[in-house]
Structure 1
């Protein structure tokens, strides 16, 4: 009953924080972002390989891009790839920065930890969405356009990306919160506004079409708005799934580990 009362009292503040995409800090400490749930593992074991993977795939996809290099950043896939690069980079910085002055709880959450957390909140569900959107819509049977002529690079960009972010999600110790749902949605909105601006400016894709993706064609606004709305709903679903996986991770840890310090299973709390 007390929890319900607290939820009602905090609802306006939580709603405002959610709408503004503000970080909702709770009982976690900066230390939780630089540790794995297993004391025997350091996040460097997976964040460094993910960072190196991102560097290699960015270089590879840039060199073998199927169109003019200046059009490389037209695609959400490449935005997501840069997100993985930044997320893993800041994740590494958080781990190796052991200065007690900079990771002191008394001084609040350091900016580098906050930056990493926001990148994490955006990158994980966006990676899942890119994989789903690509294989279910863009590469569905009967589609003629080939967005990744190299089949290995195709898998790296639209399959391995989600696998690596799933590893980050499962092995990390810090929380994923439902109230952070607007962070990936606002990122997607930024990309959407970019596509609108590109269309208005008369931009073309590498094949000379007046759209970036055929399903997001602003010359057909009603059809495009339906696709955009459904995509936003799927992205929200990807965030919810991320929170569920994090909560399940913490639940299993609480039930199996004898050392129960550092539990942050509050992703659904208000």
Structure 2
């Protein structure tokens, strides 16, 4: 689940602000808008640096599958006449397949490209975190070995590629 959220939350944050958010010079964005389209990225970034969830390149299929499922859902939802609680036919104007099919298709293309890029940035940050941790702790581990733990056991290397 963390592989999915880590990649998607950054993609959503990056996509939301330039494509959906309409700045109002008289009123700042609401707390809900900032926290749900930015604050969660800060939270996931902090989590990325404080825990050691394994990241593998093949895990890119998980967030990519969820993104594809979401795009299919929005297309079907719009086609079947679904509406939001405010009566809109799309969750975001850029995903309105009836009113703005070109914009929706471009957004879908951006999501298909953006999710893997976002995921590999997360993988790179995880590798950097591990390198910093090893340098700080003075642990020297060569490719394929296991890092010693302070308790005397060993722990699987998380930054190796399959």
- TM-score (ref. length: structure 1): 0.49
State the alpha-carbon separation in 2 of the partners of residues 207 and 176 from structure 1.
39
Summarize deviations over 1:6-53 as a string: whole Å, max 9, x none. xxxxxxxxxxxxxxxxxxxxxxxxxxxxxxxxxxxxxxxxxxxxxxxx
In structure 2, what is the equivalent of residue 107 of structure 1? none
State the alpha-carbon separation in 2 of the partners of residues 155 and 222 from structure 1.
27
Q: For residue 197 of structure 1, report the CA deviation from its aligned partner.
A: 1.8
2:139 is aligned with 1:139: no
Q: For residue 141 of structure 1, report the CA deviation from its aligned partner.
A: 4.4
Q: Which runs of 5+ in 2 are unaligned?
A: 140-146, 149-154
Q: For residue 174 of structure 1, report the CA deviation from its aligned partner.
A: 2.9
State the alpha-carbon separation in 1 of the partners of residues 90 and 9 from structure 2.
22
1:1-270 maps to which residues of 2 (within 5 A)?
119-141=1-23, 151-219=30-98, 220-259=100-139, 260-261=147-148, 262=155, 263-266=157-160, 269-270=161-162
Q: For residue 122 of structure 1, report the CA deviation from its aligned partner.
A: 0.2
Say which structure is richer in helix: 1
Structure 1 segments (4+ residues) deviating >4 Å = none
Q: Which runs of 5+ in 1 are unaligned?
A: 1-118, 143-148
Aligned length: 145
RMSD, matched Cα: 2.3
- TM-score (ref. length: structure 2): 0.78
Q: For residue 207 of structure 1, report the CA deviation from its aligned partner.
A: 3.6
In structure 2, what is the equivalent of residue 25 of structure 1? none
